[in-house]
Structure 1
Amino acid sequence: MVPASPLFGDDDEPSQAKRLASTVMPLDLHDDAPAEQPRFSEAAPQVDTAVAALDLPDAPAAPKVLSSHASILDLPDLPEARLNREGPPASTSQITAPSEIFVVEEHPSIAPAMKRGQEKFPEIMKMSGFLIRNSLNDLVPLSFDSLSSHGSNTLTRAAGLVDRIAAATRAVAEVRASEQIQDIVARADSTKHTVTLLGFIEKSMKPFDPVAANVHLTAIKEALRIKLRVVDELRQEMIRIKDSLVVEVATMAILSDMTDHADIGALVVRKASLFNVSLQEVQMALTQVTMVEKSAQDWVMRCDEVKTVTLPALGFRASL
């Protein structure tokens, strides 16, 4: 006995198959049926198909594709610029000229003061006229506060530099380069015999050592070179301070000529005298440091001369 099929139930298979076939709609395969449209048209460009697929309302037209003969540098025609032949617009007067931005309002007495400076200090005004103008702008209009505070930093630096130069001069002198070089040369010269018996015995017990003398000369030279670097820095800074004081002295002299000698005029004279004294001290210190620098340079050269000329000439060439 054939078991019942779970798909068709208890009926026989042929009758169930007929009912199933009657429910299925047959496909129409006749020639007059419309052919299936291709998904993409071969003639239509892809951009049109994409736009149609989006189905947007009022979609803009697709951009035109450049032909192979079109140049990539072809630009659309630009509208011609309209030239204003009637003159500048009315709003031009509201534009500020660039030079007007940097104009500094000066006191009315600055111009005659600069003219007086040209007459009294032509060389200084030629080199440092703008610095004198700045100093005048800081001082004018004259008052006790502006006059007492003006140039205080320069005066303090000048006094400090004078002290530092004095210390550098003492440091160079403490090397005792001249005495030590002369002592080395004297001990190396065997022709110079001591007159006293004690001196002769001392020279016999302590013969001259050229190697030790060479090391000693090198140490003297290096010590002097270190001191010379410090002295050179001080000299350069002193020159800058001197130039600043020259400007301040000229500024005070101009103001002294243009002010009366009552009240504020007396203070101007005292301030001018202070700058003059400081300038004199700086000039003296600058002269001193220049002489010290020259002496130290001579001693450095002397060390080289003793090492390379004097000692070999005295018979110690093989020992050096």
Structure 2
Amino acid sequence: MACETDGGQPAAGQAMLDLNGAMTDVYGVALAAYRGRMLATTPVILALFDGAGGRMLLYRPGCPAVEAPTVPIAYQYLKAVAHSTVAVYELAHHGDALSAGASGVLSGLAEANERALASVDELALDAGDARTAGTVLALNRDFFSRATAGRIAAPRDLAAYARECVPHVVRLMDRAAALQVSHWMTVVEQWRASLGASWTSVHAAVNTLYVTRQKNILFTVLAQFMGEGAIGERLLLFETPEFTTAPERMLDLLARIGADRELGGTFFGHPRVMDVEVLGDAARTAIRGEAGRRGMRPVLPTCAPYDSNQWPWSTDPTGGSAPCMLPALLARDPDEASGDSDDA
């Protein structure tokens, strides 16, 4: 009988697993080295999602990060008023027979709404924006007034409230978006001018929640200046489960992608092979076979080329010149395969 380790793994098997652990250690050291080289040679922009309209940081080679000014505060005022209707809806929708605790939340929301309504004219808002904000806050107040004796309005009243709010909320969103987009277009335009010829080598990364991945504002603004050809190549969208992401975490992920592209070009003949899970190609073939044996129709994503510039994800099989599966890539004439990467 083979000796076993404390983890219940045969010693020979554990030795094999230790090999993967050793790889991870080496990979971590190499990643730190790549990140240092990247920041020393390549301009980098990080665009971070937050409640104030976003953050952008510019890393010039060898220089500390420069953070852009924030979006004008009016953006947050308009967004806060629009979001107040969400709070009203959620409280009403989920609290028909309000508990004592929920009643306290309702009172707190009503009081906050009154303070906001009283302050509208004191804010540095466009006159039209102030009127729209005041209208929404007044609609909130009218709805609160119908909440009596710990009982919120009936569903039909909630629906009527929502219909009344929608035109005004849409105007608030339009104005907030105009402020946000104008601000970031100006920032990126200025950065492009300051970087001069090196703009064509800039790499940018944007973090996104699930709900913002398809119409991500910061990513779309950057795409206007970096061009469609940069999407997926030098302009990257990182989906995360967190509302905010630390710049250091973003830099680590950007460095990992760049380092993996060097590795992918060396081993497989194309730098973007490892932008997707390499094992996924083999698994795709295996799933197709297993599904066929079971009489099932395989449910698989479109096989798009590795070098596709589509966003928010690659779906068009004609959207690039590279193969979409590793076997086809490896079958190419090496003289036709480009292992060179524009990455740092």
TM-score, with structure 2 as normaliser = 0.22
Q: Name the structure with the higher strand share.
A: 2
TM-score, with structure 1 as normaliser = 0.23
Q: Name the structure with the higher helix share.
A: 1
Point out which structure has higher relative CO (alpha carbons under 8 A, 6+ apart).
Answer: 1
